[in-house]
Amino acid sequence: MSASVNVFESTSVGAALAEPPPHPWDDAAQGWNHHTTAIRTWLHDATAAMLDAAQLTPGARVLDIAAGAGDQTLDIAQRIGPGGAVLATDISPRILALAQARLRAAGITCAATRAADAQALDLAGANFDAAVCRLGLMFCTSPLQALQGIHAALRPGGRFSALVFSQPQANPCLVILARTAQRHAGLPDRNPYEPGSLMSLGQPGVMPRLLHQTGFTDIAVQPMAAPFVLPSVQHYIDFVRSSASPVMQMLKALPAAAQAAAWDEMRAQLQVFSTPQGWAGPNELLICSATAGINEPPSPT
């Protein structure tokens, strides 16, 4: 194996983070952290499938892209053990600081953190054994650029796996949230596959094409149901109001009364997914996995 660029020396969990500029996702950091237990339950099976697809082994060096508050980073650390190493990156300095605190509190010694845009990782030659990205890749306005950076950070034969939302008809809650927020904010309806949006990578065939263009092989993309089960629709609204940055940003400039009207309408529409046992919002994810090629990635076709 070729020599690896050391990306862990100055980014250990115990070290202070550099102070990058603030990012809109900072507004959702505390909410995402507060709802970690609900998110962990919601994504438990999907996260396990993503990590299985990454083929993590004890002692592996793993890159966790868009790590958020560090929930899946803990799972990675448990799989690779103290002899491995995981670098958690996120575009939001505030949410990454929460991940750092969570890892430190858990006594994790094999983890490091670094603030980084997924489209500008700057980790070429790091020779990671695996890279994962849970519900982050779809927010990239240039996912091909992000995948190229991920490919460059992997050793030849390294594994990549990701979770992204699939198409709109399988994610009605996301459609309700987006369309209602857009209407109340006076924004035109957006193409659900618009780059950087929640379901931008859900269009059939898009992820396999992007992975192939990047130079990955052994490509697999499979749908997986991931219903969000909560005690009530109000619990879901509370989660979205504090954690879902795209919706939060659309409504942020509205007066308080106008924001309240938008949330009330969302709640009324989402009530359709209430059951005698609680609220169960349908969601479908795509589990995407591939192997880093040995040769230079092919030119886009």
CATH assignment at residue 63: 3.40.50.150
What is the number of structural domains in the chain?
A: 1
> pLDDT value at position 77?
97
Residue 179 domain-assigned? no
> pLDDT value at position 4?
59
Count of alpha carbons within 13 Å of 79, Cβ hemisphere only?
21
- Give the residue-averaged pLDDT of 116-137: 96
Residue 237 domain-assigned? no
Number of Cβ within a 10 Å radius of residue 98 = 20
Q: Is the pLDDT of residue 154 over 90?
A: yes
Tell me the average pLDDT of the chain: 89
Give the residue numbers spanning the domain of 53: 24-167+194-228+283-292
Residue 55 domain-assigned? yes
Residue 182 domain-assigned? no
Residue 239 domain-assigned? no
Q: Of all residues in the chain, what percent carry a pLDDT higher than 90?
A: 73
Q: Is the pLDDT of residue 269 over 50?
A: yes
Span 2-30, pLDDT tens digits: 445 567 654 554 444 444 555 555 555 56
Span 206-227, pLDDT tens digits: 999 999 999 999 999 999 999 9
- Give the residue-averaged pLDDT of 141-169: 97
> pLDDT value at position 30?
63
Residue 222 domain-assigned? yes
> pLDDT value at position 10?
41
Comparing CA positions, the residue from 64, 85, 71, 49 lying closest to residue 243 is 71
pLDDT band at residue 92 under the 50/70/90 scheme:
confident
What are the DSSP calls for 134-183, one per residue?
Answer: ES-GGG-S-HHHHHHHHHHHEEEEEEEEEEEE--GGG-HHHHHHHHHHHH
Residue 257 CA to residue 268 CA, distance in Å, equals: 17
> pLDDT value at position 255?
94
Residue 44 domain-assigned? yes
Rg (CA), the chain: 19
Task: Please report which helix (H) or strand (E) contains residue 90, including its range.
Answer: strand 85-90
> pLDDT value at position 296?
55
> pLDDT value at position 2?
43
Residues 6+ apart with CB under 8 A from 204: 167
Residue 241 domain-assigned? no
